[in-house]
Amino acid sequence: MPNLDAVSRELMLDSLREYAKRRLPFDYLRENDEKNRFPEEILREMYDIDVMGIHLLLIPKEYGGLGGSTFDIYRVCEALARIDLGVATSVFATFLGTDPLKVGGTEEQKKKWMSRIANEKLLVAYAATEADAGSDLVNLRTRAEHITKNGKLVGYKINGNKQWISNGGVADILTVLALAPGGPSWFIVEKTAEGFSANKHEDKHGIRLSNTAGLSFDDVIVPADQLIGEAEGQGLSQAQAVFGYTRLMVAAFGLGAGWEALETAIRYSQQRIQAGGQLSEKQGYTHKLLVPHAVRLTAARAYIEEVANKLDGGDHGLQTEGAIGKYYATEAGNKAAEDSIQALGGYGYTRDFSPEKIKRDVKITCIYEGTNEIMEMTICRGRWQEHLKSRGGYYAAIASEMDALHASSPDVGADACACGLRALGRVLEECRVQKLTRHQHVMFSLGSLIAEAEVAAAMCRVAASKNPSPTHRLDRDALKAIARVSARESAFNLASKGLKLVTGSAPAGVGALAEGMELPQIEAKQHGNTADMDLIAAKLNEYFKAK
Amino acid sequence: MRIAVCIKQVPDSTRVKVDPQTGTLIRAGVPSILNPYDHYALEQALKLKKHHAGAELIVLSMGPPQAVSIMRLALALGADKGILLSDRAFAGSDTWATSYALALGLRKIGHIDLVLCGQMAIDGDTAQTGPAIAQQLRIPQITFCDSVSVSGRKLTAKQHIDGGHQVVEAALPVLCTMTMPHDYQPAYPAFLKIMQAQDKPFETWTAQDIGADTSCLGLEGSPTRVDRIFAPPAREKGEVFEGGAAELAQKLLEILRQENVLKP
């Protein structure tokens, strides 16, 4: 049983949106963005349990929190991103900073620190990154040496530097990754600790309302009971244990920011009259600047919700799935924001309208919590193993599932999706036979193709469902059209890009591969695509009316 | 003291548009909210509850099962118990049939000292349901109240009237409909309160549960018929003049003559 039901979740989102309407209007955000100012008072208010208490979502019930599910947290992250990604990042940093404790803390540590975080409006930071240690933490330089007294370990002395730490300059509590004698380990450090200092707030391209700072640890002494889990060497596994879940939060950021930008463009297009008609009525505009983003963002949501439900259902890890969600949704959000500037024309290029800021903000989602190139690698590695283990059957199985789906729901594009999945399976197999994954370019590109295939399948499942999640805010006809467009696109890309990738990298010819790709079928399945885009454009105008 | 607040879930009418061709409301993508007048009435009731130790606050609504969300909102804001009248038999009820059902619901709750309603719902703007409930319950009513207070068995209401306020007193039990200040900002609950509201008592009652005569409900029990819905023609923008009193009076006179309202 989840702690919060759907009604409660929606009420929380309402409370958050109402709060933002009053306290975080665009002019306020814009001013802070311009001044590169972290609105500390807002964060403290959001952590005030009598005002909002948003941070309680990540704290288990037994320590005074709400024990929110992954689904709850994805929804709140999305809503935060629609308001301001800087504020969202600051909240996220607290979520992230609490995670090592949640995953690896002893009962006593959890009780002490979680209760404090729940009740004292504390800002938390997660300090892992260093100059030479980002996605690759092997080169971690920050050290934690033993302090002993009468032969007994009483504490640690931490020395080193961290960089690009969200909340770094403002956090009351930091969870810090340092190399202890027994290996990388997480430590809880309070900002009042002697020898700890934060550098200046970085002057960033976007998320300027989020404090980002470098940290210095100069003989910072930490009591032994502030080593998370009270066992050394657990740091990396504790960090990795939550990647599936934390990356889904960043996926939700991409989704929220992308939808915010897209909705702004949709509403604008109904008001702007050019050449005798609304832009919203012009295919050249809608089918380039609006519809493709609505398709990608809707499919991204389908995937995020599928993974969130799996995590809440008890599946562990799901690192590959988290990476797919993060990769796909943040790329989609970034592109949607980019095109929303274009959609608003000259207005879009000014700071008076939100797309300009959203575009600068959303870019970070392609970078932090593992760059999207690291995601491509993670995705490929994860699924490559599945491909090998199943002797090439992994995607054949999903393709069969799509075939069955097509038999029961012939109008959701599952047939096209199945063709794409089979093409992907063949590409992977050819890569195995010709040993092509030795090319990093091939690996990363495969990661991207895999993401596209799996997201399209998730979208088909949603469109075929009798009760699609109301979070999509579109009716079933719209969702079905979106699924068809997304499936056709993915099939086309998987076949053509896959073929190009293999042909471009293989030493020998790949004639047989092309023949096995069902290219004529994939071509035939493109039939009706423009009509579907017309339908989606009309639905977007119906559902996102200009105010 | 026992207070009941009648609440309604409505489409956020600030975001509803009328289809100019069909005259029907375009509901696509429009969120449902707690009627703002009811929200205000609820907050006034919560203030009373705070000042009267042991007071109990019950919220009552009639609507589809989705209306559970406004019940939860009310519970999260501090109501003690929620009752939702939900039954197909209620569908299509006008203000009279609705007030019949709500009055039966209130009777079933038992002893109640004070009933608060919003002045009107923003989806219909009739302002009839509150007064009709009082009529069906045969208790006094005070409409258009800004605020109410209770001392002993006496209620004092600040009632909004043209050009000002009047203070009205009544013996309990009484029903008041509440109007809201133009700058009213509804309160929204903190996350913890929302979770706690999950465990507060909440019941759904059918037409049978409240002993309703189904011929008095739904379309059959509704004397009102909607003939046509249409968007009123957009009003032209007015003109604003500034200046001293004498100057403005002169200007006004000029315009009245121009428009042939006054003979030159």
Count of pairs with CB atoms under 8 A, one residue in A, one in B = 64
Is residue B252 in some structural domain?
no
B246 and chain A in contact, CB less than 8 A: no
Q: Flag if B76 and A11 touch (Cβ within 8 Å).
A: yes
Counting every residue written for chain B, the total comes to 264
In terms of Cβ atoms closer than 10 Å to its own Cβ (0-12, 13-18, 19+), residue A547 is exposed
Domain-by-domain residue ranges, chain A?
Answer: 6-123, 126-233, 240-366, 372-543
Q: Quickly state the pLDDT bin for B29 (edges 50, 70, 90).
A: confident
pLDDT tens for B40-60 read 999 999 999 999 999 999 999
**Residue B21: pLDDT above 80?**
no
Indicate which CATH number applies to the domain containing B80.
Answer: 3.40.50.620
Any domain includes B60: yes
Q: Does A273 touch chain B (CB under 8 A)?
A: no
Residue of A3, A5, A7 best to disrupt the B interface, most CBs of B under 10 A: A7
User: How much of chain A exceeds pLDDT 90, in percent?
Assistant: 92
Contact, A456 vs A299, CB < 8 A? yes
Judge whether B10 lies within some domain. Answer: yes
Q: How far apart are CA B96 and CA B98, in angstroms?
A: 5
Closest-CA residue to B77 (of B49, B51, B97, B102): B49
What confidence tens digit (pLDDT) does each residue in B220-263 have?
A: 999 998 887 777 777 888 888 889 999 999 999 999 988 888 87
| Residue A6 contacts B, CB cutoff 8 Å | no
- B192 and A CB contact within 8 Å: yes
The answer, yes or no, to whether residue A507 has pLDDT greater than 90, is no
Residues of A in contact with B63 (CB under 8 A): none
Q: Which fold has domain A6-123?
A: Butyryl-Coa Dehydrogenase, subunit A; domain 1 (1.10.540)
B2 beta partners:
B56
| Shortest CA gap A67–chain B (Å) | 10
Query: Which residue in the set A53, A475, A547 is minimally distant from B192, CB to CB?
Result: A53
User: Are the C-beta atoms of residues A44 and A54 closer than 8 Å to each other?
Assistant: no
- The predicted-structure confidence for A34-66, as pLDDT tens digits, reads as follows 999 999 999 999 999 999 999 999 999 999 999
**Nearest Cα to A496, choosing from A526, A519, A529, A516?**
A519
**A508 — pLDDT class (breaks 50, 70, 90):** confident
Q: What's the total number of domains in chain B?
A: 1
- How high is the pLDDT of residue B19? 73
- Show residues of chain A in contact with B188, CB under 8 Å: 14-15, 18-19
pLDDT at A358: 98
Contacts of A195 by beta carbon, 8 Å cutoff, 6+ apart: A158, A217, A218, A219, A220, A221
Q: What was the pLDDT predicted at A30?
A: 97
pLDDT digits (tens, 9 = 90+) for B52-86: 999 999 999 999 999 999 999 999 999 999 999 99
Instruction: From the candidates A202, A369, A376, A489, give the one annotated as an active-site residue.
Output: A369
Residue B241 lies inside a defined structural domain of this protein: no
Distance (Å) from the C-alpha of residue B8 to the closest C-alpha of chain A?
A: 16
Half-sphere exposure of B189 (CA within 13 A, CB side): 27
B15 shares contact with chain A (CB less than 8 Å):
yes
Asked if B29 lies within 8 A of A15 by C-beta distance, the reply is no
pLDDT at B264 over 70: no
Summarize pLDDT for A73-83 with one digit per residue, the tens: 999 999 999 99
Return the CATH number of the domain spanning residue range A126-233.
2.40.110.10
Q: Is B188 on the interface with A (CB under 8 A)?
A: yes
Say if B182 falls within a structural domain.
yes
Q: Domain A240-366 is in which class?
A: mainly alpha
Give the residue-averaged pLDDT of B140-146.
97
Contact A459, A386 (CB under 8 A): no
Which B-chain residues 89-128 have CB contacts (< 8 A) with chain A? none
Give contacts of B73 with chain A, Cβ < 8 Å.
11, 14
| Structure confidence by residue, pLDDT tens digits, A343-399 | 999 999 999 999 999 999 999 999 999 999 999 999 999 999 999 999 999 999 999
Question: Would B227 be classed as within a structural domain?
Answer: no
Let me know if residue B51 belongs to a domain: yes
| Predicted ipTM of the assembly | 0.94
Q: What is the pLDDT of residue A3?
A: 92
Cβ <8 Å between A8 and B198: yes
Interface test with A, best of B13, B84, B195 (most A CBs within 10 A): B195
Tens digit of each residue's pLDDT (9 = 90 or more) over A164-196: 999 999 999 999 999 999 999 999 999 999 999
**pLDDT band of B164, cuts 50, 70, 90:** very high
| Catalytic-residue membership of A369 | yes
Contacts of B28 in chain A (CB under 8 A): 475, 542-543
Examine the pLDDT at B23 and tell me if it is beyond 80: no
Q: What is the pLDDT of residue A324?
A: 98
Report pLDDT digits (tens) over A456-498: 999 999 999 999 999 999 999 999 999 999 999 999 999 999 9
For chain A, the straight-line distance linking the first and the last C-alpha, in angstroms and rounded, comes to 39
**Residue B38 in domain:** yes
